[in-house]
Amino acid sequence: MLEDLAVIEGDYLRDILHQPKALEDTLSGLEASKPLLEIARRLNEGKFQRVVLTGMGSSFHALHPLNLELIGHGVTAVMVETSELVHYKSRFFDPKTLVIAVSQSGESAEMRRLARTNHGGCTVIAVTNSPESVLAEHSEAAVLTRAGTEFSVSCKTYVTALMALKWLGDILCERDLGRARSDLGHAAPAAAAYLADWKDYTLTTARLLTSARHLFLVGRGGSLASAGTGALIVKESAHFHAEGMSSAAFRHGPVEMLGEETFVLIFAGDAKTRSLNERLLLDVRQGAGHAELVASDASLPACRIGDHSPGIRQILEILPVQMMTLGLSALAGREPGRFELATKVTTTE
């Protein structure tokens, strides 16, 4: 029976439920180190022509909010997957480039190649869960997450990376760090409050997805982090195909797939484009597809994340997707998050 959730109560679920503690630990260790402050000073004095934001998988997707923050601050910032950076865009490796590299392990094949390719040409800030990693050793400054060990699929490491990147953005944009820390302090209790009802939310999402064969996760702005990471973790943990893309991109073709077997999870996001996302919700439903909105005031409790600042909202947005991974796994009768082909650290390019 679907109500029997024993099959999903393994190490992956344990990591999901440990996220509030991981967020608390990360927040307690955040600091404005002298190297970070010095790099921020140089950035704001125009010493860097560009900032390259790089990572792989969920580490790459997590960079979307910081990318927008830096651009809004007047900085030329670009996002490049590390695999593309080291092989096709190595001209970025010069002293006028600041690289912000995100990697949970700091030991992936791409991060090792980045360290070899850079040869000290550009300044590197590492955001990592592994202070003794190749990436951390290669960087001029580091922001450490304190997610602890993780079984497989990124959950603790993803939300703590979002927190670390928000902190880094506040340093680079020379914001009030006292206020920044106070704001980030809301993340752990908000996540804990949501996860307290994980069983109900898992059952709810499982019932929503019973007839689904095609799953899309869409959003705009900073919520592209949730769309990209969400689709990735659904595939990794539940072995169910999903696609993450912008809400606008969904209208450019995939909208043709609307029907009884299509489910679209839409992230409401910022006020600037929320009305566009709400219109998409209505259009999907009118097109015979199924859709729900992840929002502070969502009608479905499993998609309701409370009213928070953008930095906290982007941390909480991934939680409903995690419930979907549990629900899909329960429907399939398989343990979520247990890798059969992949490994926690990707060591082969």
Does 213 reside within a domain? yes
Give residues with Cβ within 8 angstroms of 47, minimum separation 6: 96
In a shared domain, residues 230 and 319: yes
Give dist(CA 324, CA 336) in Å, integer.
Answer: 11
What is the CATH number for 269?
A: 3.40.50.10490
Decide the pairing of beta strands 97-103 and 123-128: parallel
Count of structural domains, the chain: 2
Does 4 reside within a domain? no
* Predicted TM-score of the model (pTM): 0.97
Decide the pairing of beta strands 97-103 and 50-55: parallel
In a shared domain, residues 72 and 150: yes
Q: Give residue 171's domain range.
A: 16-185
Q: What percent of the chain has pLDDT over 90?
A: 95
pLDDT digits (tens, 9 = 90+) for 231-276: 999 999 999 999 999 999 999 999 999 999 999 999 999 999 999 9
pLDDT band at 341 (very low <50, low <70, confident <90, very high): confident
Does 20 reside within a domain? yes
Question: What letter represents residue 75's amino acid?
Answer: V
Does 349 reside within a domain? no
In a shared domain, residues 218 and 169: no
What are the two backbone dihedrals, phi and then psi, of residue 265, each rounded to the nearest 5 degrees? -100, 120
DSSP state of 313: H
pLDDT band at 3 (very low <50, low <70, confident <90, very high): low
For residues 14 and 120, which has the higher predicted lDDT (pLDDT)?
A: 14
pLDDT digits (tens, 9 = 90+) for 296-312: 999 999 999 999 999 99
In a shared domain, residues 177 and 212: no
pLDDT for res 345: 82
In a shared domain, residues 29 and 175: yes
Does 85 reside within a domain? yes
The per-residue DSSP string of 20-74 comes to: HHHHHHHHHH----HHHHHHHHHHHTT--SEEEEEESTHHHHTTHHHHHHHHHTT
What does the mean pLDDT of the chain come to? 96
Residue 46 has pLDDT above 60, yes or no: yes
pLDDT for res 340: 85
In a shared domain, residues 123 and 204: no
